[in-house]
A and B are shown apart, each in its own frame.
Chain A
Amino acid sequence: MFLEKIFSHGKKERQVTEDIERHIQLLCTACEIFKNSLERNDRNLIWEVIELERDADAVRRDVISHIYEGAFLPYIRPDLCKFVEIVDEVFDVLKDTAQYCLDYELPELLREESTRVALLNFRMCEMLLISFEAMLKGADLREKILGIRIYEKKIDDIKLILFKDAERVPVADFWAGKILSDLLTGLTGISDIIEDASDHLQIINVGTR
């Protein structure tokens, strides 16, 4: 199959695909740790998320430089770079959201639903990894992409409840309110970016057939 040829031949290509896989795996780990930090109310875990974001940054730089050193045919390079950039954007939002939790104690009223969103974010990342691996094997992504969209819809439903509940949380001043709002916006916005990444994966998949 053409797609398998594109993604499996050549040392440089293999290096790039392995690095992209590692990039997504790091994202899965970071999302899981963030979920655990919310679940256990353990702020020390946030530092691990921040550390993983730095590692991921290095992987992203490697992927992009390897691509422009000559891996893959030129027409597919921008799409692969774009995909990696979108995954990196997820990392950025995750790190920003996690950092809010360092100085701000998430209200008990919001903890359970926030943890559910974090869990679903983690599941979406796993699904993105599964989709990427399926693409490398030349498999059809239809079911996988649908799975990601279902997760995203579920998070959207919870988002409504979260923001409604947040209205009942007393805030000390403007900045406390802003941090809470930014935290919830980041937490519930991660899924949108993962969905964008999965859409881009589908574009790469279709474009290389």
Chain B
Amino acid sequence: MKVHEFMTTKIEFIDASKTVYDAVERMVDRRIRSVVVRFPGKEGDYGVLTTRDIVFKVLAKGTNPKKVKVSEIASKPVACIDKDMDFDDAATAMERSNIARLFVCDEGKIIGLISLLDVMAAELVTRARGNHVS
């Protein structure tokens, strides 16, 4: 199964100049676990900020999230895959890089993301389809 069939397109973007508090607010509000950080200047210059980054790098250290910029703790660059990649290959890429989500990119633009849960769901569907390849 190709990743574009099952990817999540609900992606939130946040400007690098915003604070971690802004990001937390948005993530809690939208019930999402990561936001894509947009850096000024070059088109397609992205980073990613996850709940893990926020908890480990800010909250657990007792730092005030209103005083930390998103750009200071975001991970860069983001891991991107092609929309026509198979889920099997995506799973291998996630395992190799030890990451829980991969962004799906088209001509340098992020168009979706796949998480470990999406990989599991895709695996179940592939098993259910058996020899009926889509």
- When the two chains form their complex, are residues B124 and A123 in contact, meaning their CB atoms are under 8 A apart? no
On whether A157 and B10 interact (CB within 8 A), knowing A120-B5, A123-B5, A150-B121, the answer reads: yes
Q: Which of B38-46, B73-81, B95-103, B126-134 lies on the face that meets chain A? A: B126-134
How far does the Cβ of A190 sit from chain B's closest Cβ, in whole Å? 17
- How distant is the Cα of A127 from the Cα of B6 in the complex, in angstroms? 15
Chain A residues with CB under 8 Å of B134's CB are 123, 126
- When the two chains form their complex, are residues A154 and B6 in contact, meaning their CB atoms are under 8 A apart? yes
Interface string of A126-147 (1 = CB under 8 A from B): 1100100000000000011011
Q: Is B125 an interface residue (CB 8 A)?
A: yes
Q: Is A79 an interface residue (CB 8 A)?
A: no
Q: Count of chain B residues with Cβ under 8 Å from any Cβ of A?
A: 14
- When the two chains form their complex, are residues B125 and A151 in contact, meaning their CB atoms are under 8 A apart? yes
Interface string of B29-68 (1 = CB under 8 A from A): 0000000000000000000000000000000000000000
Chain B residues with CB under 8 Å of A123's CB are 5, 134
Q: Is A6 an interface residue (CB 8 A)?
A: no
Q: Is A158 an interface residue (CB 8 A)?
A: yes
Chain A residues with CB under 8 Å of B8's CB are 157
Most buried by A among B5, B9, B127, B128: B128
On whether A144 and B128 interact (CB within 8 A), knowing A157-B10, A161-B10, the answer reads: yes
How far does the Cβ of A201 sit from chain B's closest Cβ, in whole Å? 13
- When the two chains form their complex, are residues A113 and B9 in contact, meaning their CB atoms are under 8 A apart? yes
Beta-carbon nearest neighbor of A144 in chain B: B128
How far does the Cβ of B7 sit from chain A's closest Cβ, in whole Å? 9
- When the two chains form their complex, are residues A143 and B127 in contact, meaning their CB atoms are under 8 A apart? yes
How far does the Cβ of A23 sit from chain B's closest Cβ, in whole Å? 18
The secondary structure that dominates the A interface is helix
- When the two chains form their complex, are residues A127 and B5 in contact, meaning their CB atoms are under 8 A apart? no
The secondary structure that dominates the B interface is helix
Chain B residues with CB under 8 Å of A119's CB are 5
Interface residues in A95-121 by Cβ distance below 8 A to B read 112-113, 116, 119-120
Chain B residues with CB under 8 Å of A157's CB are 8, 10
Interface string of B103-124 (1 = CB under 8 A from A): 0000000000000000001001
- How distant is the Cα of A154 from the Cα of B120 in the complex, in angstroms? 13
- How distant is the Cα of A107 from the Cα of B129 in the complex, in angstroms? 33
Beta-carbon nearest neighbor of A161 in chain B: B10
How far does the Cβ of B14 sit from chain A's closest Cβ, in whole Å? 18
Interface residues in A31-49 by Cβ distance below 8 A to B read none
- How distant is the Cα of A106 from the Cα of B121 in the complex, in angstroms? 30
Beta-carbon nearest neighbor of B127 in chain A: A143
- How distant is the Cα of A120 from the Cα of B5 in the complex, in angstroms? 8
- How distant is the Cα of A129 from the Cα of B128 in the complex, in angstroms? 12
- When the two chains form their complex, are residues B124 and A143 in contact, meaning their CB atoms are under 8 A apart? yes
11 A-B interface contacts by CB (under 8 A)? A116-B5, A116-B9, A119-B5, A123-B5, A127-B125, A127-B129, A130-B129, A130-B132, A146-B128, A151-B125, A161-B9
Q: A146-B124, A150-B124, A157-B10 are in contact. List 5 more A-B contacts (CB 8 A).
A: A119-B5, A143-B124, A151-B125, A160-B10, A161-B9
Q: 5 closest A-B pairs (Cβ-Cβ)?
A: A147-B128, A143-B128, A147-B125, A150-B121, A144-B128
